[in-house]
């Protein structure tokens, strides 16, 4: 059922979804549940997009399962199923360690308030004012205020407080101090609601449950199926081309990157000039680097926390975080409790990264730079897990080029586009009737929660379009 080959001629669906990231999966599931015939095409051999995992030497590594907000519980119950919702558990030990401060937190409003009062000597009134301001931020607010402006308004000159408030959000969605304050406020408030959560059983378990649900609802799933072209005629969608096969549908939802969708899949000729003028303004977010660390079966490691935001850089700076030789990284610790039936320890270190820094390197320089990144990472981890080198039996690294290869996203972007991409994504069907986009745009629609919620919004648009509402 899952590995169907595409039969081609004569095949017709109400909707074709291109890409099986969390946004694409959710749209496909909602539309099938509403009674539409849905074909889901994924170029990779595995579903999930960036919600990825891979196996090496008895280890299972999670690529993007580091933490999401409490809102996932309601979203999964409402838009997926109870079984998925019941796998969500809290990560209770979030650690910060850098030259400016070291602390452990549950990463919620109450604990942050205590920390800001007791450790950073900020007044309760200022903290309350700050939290109330960010909680009241919404999508349609003024975007001229940057996150740095917001921090300076409440905590002027306090770059230690800025670091506490910003570092995790930069890791969570790639935003910087210069991005609009609302993109910060919405994501930060989501986390501050009740803390940081994860899926017990890992990404493979989640995507397995989602796949069962898609099959139950009648979605036809084809993996190893890269869409080469969204075919339009007379300004409207006619179907998609996969290799030499044409599959017919008047409605296509692309979970491919928004720029890939416009430039590569539909082709710029399909769009009016005014729309393309707006597309010119879209900036893609940066990408990521990761180091995957497998601990020998016979070794154990102590509980040093679930998520460690660590840095040896004196001050926080968005540029330092993006530097190839950054001294800042997040360690995600996966203890046997993550996958109770698996009983292994793994660590994943995540860094931000820029595609061009890696892309310009020769093959040998690229391999050397990857090895150097692995070495720096293990040196850093040694300060939290002494003698960890002796305990490791698998080491591997990913760079922005790796993320590009697996997702096809422009410059391997991990979090889609900056704010202006959202308007393009939301209005694409007005430029080409029948063509919709779902997936990381505008920062707030990215991340696991953002992508799933956006999948629901787009499925509703598509359902209305097909029904002529």
Ligand X SMILES: Cc1cc2nc3c(=O)[nH]c(=O)nc-3n(C[C@H](O)[C@H](O)[C@H](O)COP(=O)(O)OP(=O)(O)OC[C@H]3O[C@@H](n4cnc5c(N)ncnc54)[C@H](O)[C@@H]3O)c2cc1C
CA atoms within 13 A on the CB side of 271: 25
CB of residue 6 vs ligand X: minimum separation in angstroms?
A: 12
* Residue closer to ligand X, measured from CB, 100 or 350: 350
* Residue closer to ligand X, measured from CB, 161 or 242: 242
- Structure tokens given for 204: 């493979």
CA distances from 451 to 171, 397, 416 (A): 16, 25, 10
User: What distance in Å separates the CA atoms of residue 120 and residue 109, rounded to the nearest whole number?
Assistant: 15
| Strand-by-strand arrangement of the 307-311 sheet | 101-105, 94-98, 307-311, 328-334, 346-353, 287-295, 392-398
* Residue closer to ligand X, measured from CB, 100 or 170: 170
CB of residue 299 vs ligand X: minimum separation in angstroms?
A: 25
* Residue closer to ligand X, measured from CB, 338 or 440: 440
- Cβ neighbours around 235 below 10 Å, total: 12
* Residue closer to ligand X, measured from CB, 345 or 406: 406
CB of residue 407 vs ligand X: minimum separation in angstroms?
A: 5
CB of residue 257 vs ligand X: minimum separation in angstroms?
A: 7
- Cβ neighbours around 45 below 10 Å, total: 8
Backbone angles phi and psi of 257, in degrees to 5: -55, 150
Sign of the alpha-carbon torsion through 462, 464, 465, 466? positive
The DSSP symbol for 414 reads S
* Residue closer to ligand X, measured from CB, 53 or 154: 53
* Residue closer to ligand X, measured from CB, 63 or 134: 63
* Residue closer to ligand X, measured from CB, 127 or 172: 172
Burial of 146 (0-12, 13-18, 19+ CB in 10 A): middle
CB of residue 69 vs ligand X: minimum separation in angstroms?
A: 8
Continuous H helices in 105-175: 109-118, 124-135, 147-154, 159-173
CA atoms within 13 A on the CB side of 288: 27
- Cβ neighbours around 304 below 10 Å, total: 16
Given a contact cutoff of 8 angstroms between Cβ atoms, the answer to whether 322 and 286 are in contact is yes
Contact residues for ligand X, defined by CB under 6 A = 18-24, 41-44, 49-51, 63-64, 66-68, 226-227, 255-256, 260, 288, 290, 350, 403, 407-408, 414-415, 439-440, 446-449, 451
Q: Number of H helices and number of E strands within the chain?
A: 18, 20
User: What distance in Å separates the CA atoms of residue 151 and residue 153, rounded to the nearest whole number?
Assistant: 5
CB of residue 119 vs ligand X: minimum separation in angstroms?
A: 25
User: What distance in Å separates the CA atoms of residue 208 and residue 47, rounded to the nearest whole number?
Assistant: 9
CB of residue 437 vs ligand X: minimum separation in angstroms?
A: 10
* Residue closer to ligand X, measured from CB, 154 or 415: 415
Helix (H) or strand (E) holding 62: strand 59-62
CB of residue 404 vs ligand X: minimum separation in angstroms?
A: 11
CB of residue 24 vs ligand X: minimum separation in angstroms?
A: 6
CB of residue 85 vs ligand X: minimum separation in angstroms?
A: 16
* Residue closer to ligand X, measured from CB, 98 or 290: 290
Bridge partners (DSSP) listed for residue 62? 53
* Residue closer to ligand X, measured from CB, 398 or 431: 398
User: What distance in Å separates the CA atoms of residue 7 and residue 47, rounded to the nearest whole number?
Assistant: 20
Closest residue by beta carbon to ligand X: 21
* Residue closer to ligand X, measured from CB, 42 or 122: 42
Beta strands in 210-301 (DSSP E): 220-222, 229-233, 236-242, 245-248, 252-254, 287-295
User: What distance in Å separates the CA atoms of residue 101 and residue 103, rounded to the nearest whole number?
Assistant: 7
CB of residue 289 vs ligand X: minimum separation in angstroms?
A: 8
CB of residue 342 vs ligand X: minimum separation in angstroms?
A: 20
């Amino acid at each position: 059922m899952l590995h169907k080959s595409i039969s081609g001629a004569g095949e017709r669906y109400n909707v074709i979804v291109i890409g099986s990231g969390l946004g694409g999966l959710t749209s496909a599931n909602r539309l099938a549940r509403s009674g539409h015939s849905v074909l889901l095409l994924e170029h990779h051999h595995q579903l999930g997009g960036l919600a990825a995992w891979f196996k090496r030497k008895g280890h299972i590594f999670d690529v993007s399962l580091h933490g999401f907000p409490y809102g996932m519980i309601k979203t999964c119950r409402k838009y997926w199923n109870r079984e998925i919702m019941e796998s969500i558990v809290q990560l209770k030990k979030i650690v910060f360690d850098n030259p400016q401060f070291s602390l452990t937190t549950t990463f919620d409003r109450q604990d942050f308030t205590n920390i800001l009062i007791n450790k950073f000597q900020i007044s309760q009134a200022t903290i309350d004012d700050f939290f109330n301001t960010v909680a009241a931020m919404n999508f349609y607010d003024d975007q001229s205020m940057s996150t740095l402006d917001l921090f300076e308004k409440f905590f002027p000159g306090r770059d230690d407080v800025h670091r506490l408030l910003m570092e995790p959000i930069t890791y969570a969605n790639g935003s910087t101090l210069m991005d609009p304050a609302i993109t910060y406020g919405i994501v930060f408030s989501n986390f501050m609601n009740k803390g940081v959560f994860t899926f017990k059983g890992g990404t493979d378990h989640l995507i397995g449950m989602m796949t069962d649900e898609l099959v139950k609802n009648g979605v036809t799933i084809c993996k190893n199926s890269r869409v080469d072209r969204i075919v339009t005629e007379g300004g409207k969608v006619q179907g998609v081309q996969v290799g030499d096969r044409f599959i017919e549908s008047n409605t296509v939802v692309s979970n491919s990157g928004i720029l890939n969708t416009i430039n590569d899949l539909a082709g710029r000729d399909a769009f009016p000039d005014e729309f393309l003028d707006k597309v010119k303004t879209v900036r893609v977010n940066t990408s990521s680097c990761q180091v995957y660390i497998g601990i020998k079966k016979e070794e154990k490691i102590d509980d040093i926390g679930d998520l460690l935001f660590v840095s040896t850089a004196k001050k926080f700076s968005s540029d330092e975080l993006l530097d190839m030789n950054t001294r800042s990284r997040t360690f995600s610790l996966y203890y046997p409790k993550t996958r109770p039936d698996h009983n292994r320890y793994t660590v994943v270190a995540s860094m931000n990264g820029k595609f061009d820094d890696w892309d310009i390197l020769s093959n040998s320089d690229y391999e050397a730079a990857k090895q150097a990144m692995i070495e720096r990472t293990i040196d850093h981890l040694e300060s939290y897990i002494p003698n960890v080198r002796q305990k490791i039996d698998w080491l591997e690294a990913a760079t922005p080029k790796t993320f590009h290869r697996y997702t096809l996203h422009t410059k391997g972007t991990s979090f889609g586009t900056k704010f202006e991409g959202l308007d393009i994504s939301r209005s694409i069907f007005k430029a080409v009737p029948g063509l919709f986009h779902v997936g990381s745009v505008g920062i707030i629609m990215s991340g696991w929660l953002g992508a799933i919620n956006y999948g629901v919004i787009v499925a509703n648009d598509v359902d209305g379009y097909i029904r002529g509402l």
